[in-house]
Amino acid sequence: MEFIKKKWQIIVIVLLVLFGMNKCASSCTNSNLYEESQKQHTEYVHKSDSIVKVYDDSVKTLNSRIQVLEATINGNQEMINRLAAANEQISNAKKNINVNVKQK
């Protein structure tokens, strides 16, 4: 107990230094955690941007395929209309054909 009474100032200084070192280490750890979280945030943003770009490219590809299919459907519909008109002309022409069979 005598030792503590004589050296109390040194003990207080040592405790303050240890407390200060603990705060410094804690601050450094927090700084490292902050930098690591910033790095992870940047990676997530980059990944999400990449995913958005892939989906955007997919949408563009699908839109172009839809346009091609619409053009094909329109072309097929035109062909069907022409064939129907030709079929109608053939049917009308058949009605006008008279076949006479001569008997011997």
Give the pLDDT confidence of 13-24 residue by residue, as tens digits: 888 787 777 777
Q: What is the domain extent for residue 30?
A: 2-88
**Whole-angstrom Cα distance, residue 93 to residue 103?**
26
43, part of any domain: yes
Task: Give the number of domains in the chain.
Answer: 1
Q: How confident is the model at residue 103 (pLDDT cuts 50, 70, 90)?
A: confident
Give the side-chain half-sphere CA count within 13 A for 10. Answer: 5
pLDDT at 86 over 90: yes
Task: Give pLDDT, residue 68.
Answer: 93
Measure the CA dihedral 33/34/37/38, to 10°: -150
Residues with Cβ within 8 Å of 4's Cβ and at least 6 positions away in sequence, in order, are 11
100, part of any domain: no
27, part of any domain: yes
20, part of any domain: yes
pTM score: 0.47
Task: Give pLDDT, residue 10.
Answer: 80
65, part of any domain: yes
Which residue has better confidence, 80 or 92?
A: 80
66, part of any domain: yes
48, part of any domain: yes
- The SS3 of residue 92 is helix
80, part of any domain: yes
